[in-house]
Structure 1
Amino acid sequence: MNKLLTVGIPRFNRATFLEQQLSWLAKAIKGFKPQCEINISDNSSTYNTQEIINKWQTIFNQTSFITNKGISNIGVMANIAHCFKSARTEYVWVISDDARIQIRTLGYVINNLKTHPELALLILDFSWLYLGSGKLAHEHCFTVKDEETVSGCKPLIENYLH
């Protein structure tokens, strides 16, 4: 079976967040390992990132686990772009190393990709917390009442990101 989805994690330092994200992913990927690859794009971190990556590579031994450590900090947008460029799957889900994601979300994404192979973009609603205080800034960043499939991405984005 060809892999369907790359979960890309662009990052710089913040090793604790990477540890937390990989812990979430280890739980969420159960039942979906053959369909996924994990791609960590490290933006030349100076913290103990490599030790964390080494630890999790052994845990994710049944999943494609790709890592790239840049020789210099190329910036956040170029690092995100690297996650897309280096993916070996048809679909890519780039997540922040500090995003808190429900366990069931990975299955939701994969099932939608299988059900709607014509999708070019899948937008997930999310909340926004201030890390320092833990206070909720926005409970819902999109006001999507019902799931919908649209053939063109531009109208959807224009409608929900106004």
Structure 2
Amino acid sequence: MSDLKLSICIPTYNRARYLETVLVHLQEVVAQLPFETEIIVSDNASDDNTLALLETSQALLPLTILKQSENIGAVPNMHAALRAAKGTYLVYLADDDRLRVEALQNAISMLDANPAASALYAPWQIKDLVTGQVTGQFYRQPRDVSIAQGNYGQLLEHIAEHSIYSEICILRREVFQALNPIANDIAFWAFTTPAEYLGAGDLIYAQEPFYCSISRHFVGDNRAQLGFSEVMTAWDTYRGGLEVLHGLALAHGGLTKPAMVAKFIRNHPIERMYTALKLRLQLGGDPLESYTLAARLRGLGLGSQLPAPMEQIRSTAALYFACVKLPATLRAESVTIIGNCPEETLQQLAGITNLPVRRAQQADGIGARDVVLDFSCQDETLLEAARTSALAHVTDTQLQQKFA
């Protein structure tokens, strides 16, 4: 196996429908590559027809199957595939994505020509297989760039100049097996992992994408990309990753544009927070989380630049808390309204909770399993029943104070 050049490593779990299309694609890839290639698929104890599909495909591909006896988790399963590889170079391939053969071959040639390089990173395309159209590309750079071992300053400046997330790469096998990079929730792995590889050798950032992330395989197959879900929550880990990389640059030198880097580290997480809030408001995310995110942006001096008025975000969060979150926490059976609540607001409340929403005109209309929402009620009998009989009594004034 000394001539084995490339290992294509695929972790999978219960994705036979998509994996089947990838395996057909890889028949074309392997046939066109001018060097020996292997495919490693690690099946994370799927209970669909994944294993039968893989066994059938062994007659058509240089395929090694790893069978996990139980689900070991996504990251360990990915590491299992990568560590089983025997090629000079490793490339991760999701079980529903594609490789661009000519660009992949060019990337391998660049690594061959740069034996000091531990890894090659490149942008990636977004492609719709139904239309055949490339619909986007994650980051662009004007030329190929080589970064010398240990030059963390140049790495950070390159990332900052082109807003790069270093996610798609080809690795030297011995580098991966020596470093075993493992992500955590404190610092974004796409900033910290390339720093690990840069400690072991040079890094190449290629201009040409060799990887396609597939947004749609079939009609009706509209799935969120991983990066889409990350942007909804990961802004603090983005900041953490940039700070780790900045610390390496400060400790080891190499920064030539410190002001530009400092601005990027400050602004990039804020931009991601703004994008996350905008998406949450558009897609109906948790209103309490949206309020907290808006409050953070307001605290950064951006209150006038929010994607929706703060008053609207506050109001939505307050009603959600009173009619959904609090009743669920207390295991309430209904939401009871007292005071001057317009019919339009009552209908709005009924639309955001699965519990019955009703008005109480008399004290006996308030039950022991109710959350009472009080819109400036002046009836002392009702108020006393709300305070003493209900699970919780929440006033509109209290909500305004809570979501200030």
TM-score of the aligned structures, taking structure 2 as reference length:
0.35
Contact 1:5–1:36 (Cα < 8 Å) also in 2: yes
Note the alpha carbon deviations across 1:116-136, whole angstroms, 9 max, x for none.
Answer: 2332122121134699xxx98
1:89 pairs, out of 87, 90, 105, with: 87
> What SS does the aligned partner of 1:44 have?
coil
> What SS does the aligned partner of 1:93 have?
strand
Q: Which residue of the partner structure matches residue 121 of structure 2? A: 123
**Separation in structure 2 between the aligned mates of residue 139 and residue 94 of structure 1, nearest angstrom:** 20
Name the CA shift for 1:30/1:110 in 2 (closer, same or farther; >3 Å): farther
Cα deviation, residue 111, structure 1: 2.3
Note the alpha carbon deviations across 1:20-60, whole angstroms, 9 max, x for none.
Answer: 11111110112437521110011111111122112211012
Q: Which residue of the partner structure matches residue 146 of structure 1? A: 143
Note the alpha carbon deviations across 1:91-137, whole angstroms, 9 max, x for none.
Answer: 21011011133343432333233222332122121134699xxx98x
Name the CA shift for 1:67/1:25 in 2 (closer, same or farther; >3 Å): same
Contact 1:28–1:107 (Cα < 8 Å) also in 2: no
**Separation in structure 2 between the aligned mates of residue 109 and residue 7 of structure 1, nearest angstrom:** 14
Q: Which residue of the partner structure matches residue 77 of structure 1? A: 75
Q: Which residue of the partner structure matches residue 99 of structure 1? A: 97
State the one-letter code of the partner of 2:47.
T
**Separation in structure 2 between the aligned mates of residue 43 and residue 22 of structure 1, nearest angstrom:** 17
Query: Which has the larger helix fraction?
Result: 2
Contact 1:29–1:106 (Cα < 8 Å) also in 2: no
Q: Which residue of the partner structure matches residue 110 of structure 1? A: 108
Contact 2:43–2:66 (Cα < 8 Å) also in 1: yes
% same residue: 24
**Separation in structure 2 between the aligned mates of residue 56 and residue 156 of structure 1, nearest angstrom:** 41
Q: Which residue of the partner structure matches residue 56 of structure 2? A: 55
> What SS does the aligned partner of 2:39 have?
strand
Name the CA shift for 1:130/1:74 in 2 (closer, same or farther; >3 Å): farther
**Separation in structure 1 between the aligned mates of residue 37 and residue 88 of structure 2, nearest angstrom:** 11
State the one-letter code of the partner of 1:46.
D
Name the CA shift for 1:113/1:36 in 2 (closer, same or farther; >3 Å): farther
Name the CA shift for 1:91/1:56 in 2 (closer, same or farther; >3 Å): same
> What SS does the aligned partner of 2:147 have?
coil
Cα deviation, residue 10, structure 1: 0.6
Q: Which residue of the partner structure matches residue 25 of structure 1? A: 26
Cα deviation, residue 87, structure 1: 1.1
State the one-letter code of the partner of 1:156.
L
Contact 2:33–2:101 (Cα < 8 Å) also in 1: no
**Separation in structure 2 between the aligned mates of residue 5 and residue 107 of structure 1, nearest angstrom:** 10
**Separation in structure 1 between the aligned mates of residue 75 and residue 121 of structure 2, nearest angstrom:** 19
Name the CA shift for 1:15/1:105 in 2 (closer, same or farther; >3 Å): farther
Higher relative contact order (CA 8 A, sep 6+): 1
Q: Which residue of the partner structure matches residue 156 of structure 1? A: 155
Name the CA shift for 1:74/1:87 in 2 (closer, same or farther; >3 Å): same
> What SS does the aligned partner of 1:140 have?
strand
Name the CA shift for 1:116/1:30 in 2 (closer, same or farther; >3 Å): farther
**Separation in structure 2 between the aligned mates of residue 103 and residue 2 of structure 1, nearest angstrom:** 19
- Corresponding pairs, count: 156
**Separation in structure 1 between the aligned mates of residue 81 and residue 149 of structure 2, nearest angstrom:** 23
**Separation in structure 1 between the aligned mates of residue 45 and residue 94 of structure 2, nearest angstrom:** 16
State the one-letter code of the partner of 2:83.
K
Contact 1:43–1:69 (Cα < 8 Å) also in 2: yes
Q: Which residue of the partner structure matches residue 368 of structure 2? A: none
> What SS does the aligned partner of 1:21 have?
helix
**Larger displacement relative to structure 2 (139-148 or 41-50):** 139-148
> What SS does the aligned partner of 1:24 have?
helix
Contact 2:32–2:101 (Cα < 8 Å) also in 1: no
